[in-house]
Amino acid sequence: MAIAALCSCGDDTVVKTDKLSIVTTIFPYYSFAKEITGDKAEVTQLISPGAEIHDFELTPKDILRIQNADIFIYNGGESDEWVEDILKSISSDVKILCMFDYADLIYEEDIDHNKGDEYDEHIWTSLSNDKKFVKTISGEIINKDKNNKEYYQSNTKAYLNRLNKLDEDFKSAVKNSANMPMVVADRFPLLYFVKEYGIKYESAFPGCTSETQPSIKTVTKLIDYTRNNNVPVVFHIDNSSDSLAKTICEDSNAKIKTFYSLHNITSEQSKQGATFMSLFEQNLKSLKEALG
């Protein structure tokens, strides 16, 4: 009833077009869907560029977008618990894709690398998972729009080839490096990524914690670790302050760089046409320098 009341308020009408309609919660799945469909579909990301994903609040227009979609794609996990209530009101004609169902999941770790009892939610930072996601999304798009099957298949094949190439480039970068540790003076939504390539890491926080101030013990540990291991790069995560990274680098020669976790992108990146692939390729360049 509450959802129905929301949807009847104001002028939040969502116009249904003849094109396939795909709605995603976060940027990676938006980018994948765009790569597959090109101009053959209307693809919408609910969490707008520049918005903080953890502060997202669903609007009546968002609900209508989901209800009118042909395909709705969300991540799954604790941060997407709000989706479960929405799905109760969604027509059976909408294909629902929860990416958690298609991922190889791993457990969270704290900053001392102790395993937690919940799955880490940042499943898209694994390129192996991403290949599965692209295949799954592509298959459902084709099921909904068989008239453009060959177009979608061609785009999917080309994109998977690019993902495979990027995956091999990361493997080569790690293999041919001095295997320096990855130091992240920030939250750490990169567990799938480092596990996939066997990269050692140290971080100020686990996962996407709401904490903003690390303990003195943690800061001291990262400063000493960076200096004693001659770490060449200290990372901070996209859409986050680099102030802690600056503190850690004060007594060392380490550079500060951004690593893109790709929960979301900025408004400026959106205007410039940034994609999941283009930003992950920037990660590759930064990682090569960081690993030595």
Tens digit of pLDDT for each residue in 184-197?
999 999 999 999 99
User: pLDDT band at 14, cuts 50/70/90?
Assistant: low
Comparing 88 with 11, which gets the higher pLDDT? 88
Q: Measured in whole angstroms, how far is the alpha carbon of residue 42 from the centre of its chain? A: 21
Query: Percentage of residues in the chain with pLDDT exceeding 90?
Result: 77
On whether residue 172 sits in a domain, the answer given is no
- Alpha helix (H) residue ranges in the chain: 2-7, 27-37, 60-68, 81-87, 127-144, 149-175, 191-197, 216-228, 243-249, 267-271, 276-291
On whether residue 236 sits in a domain, the answer given is yes
Same domain, 83 and 208: no
Q: How far apart are CA 209 and CA 241, in angstroms?
A: 15
Q: How far apart are CA 155 and CA 39, in angstroms?
A: 11
On whether residue 51 sits in a domain, the answer given is yes
Same domain, 73 and 149: yes
Domain that holds residue 138: 2-10+17-166
Considering only CA atoms, give the Rg of the chain.
20
Query: Percentage of residues in the chain with pLDDT exceeding 70?
Result: 94
Same domain, 29 and 109: yes
Give the strand pairing for 115-119 and 107-109. Answer: antiparallel
Q: What length does the chain have? A: 292
Triad 272, 139, 26: Cα angle to 5°: 40
Q: Give the residue from 106, 138, 166 where a domain finishes.
A: 166
Q: Tell which residue, 138, 128, 139, 80, has the closest CA to residue 104.
A: 128
On whether residue 171 sits in a domain, the answer given is no
Per the structure, how many domains does the chain have? 2
Q: Tell which residue, 99, 42, 48, 103, has the closest CA to residue 68.
A: 42
Same domain, 162 and 200: no
Q: Give the residue from 124, 145, 166 where a domain finishes.
A: 166
Q: Give the residue from 135, 166, 197 where a domain finishes.
A: 166
Mean pLDDT for 87-112 is 93
- Say yes or no to pLDDT of 278 above 70: yes
Same domain, 201 and 155: no
Task: Specify the pLDDT at position 81.
Answer: 82
Same domain, 23 and 159: yes
On whether residue 23 sits in a domain, the answer given is yes
Same domain, 59 and 136: yes
Q: What is the pLDDT of residues 245-261, one digit of tens each?
A: 999 999 899 999 999 99
Q: What is the pLDDT of residues 19-47, one digit of tens each?
A: 999 999 999 999 999 999 999 999 999 99
On whether residue 52 sits in a domain, the answer given is yes
User: pLDDT band at 10, cuts 50/70/90?
Assistant: very low
CATH code for the domain of 269 = 3.40.50.1980
Contacts of 184 (CB under 8 A, 6+ apart): 190, 201, 202, 203, 204, 234, 235, 236, 237, 259
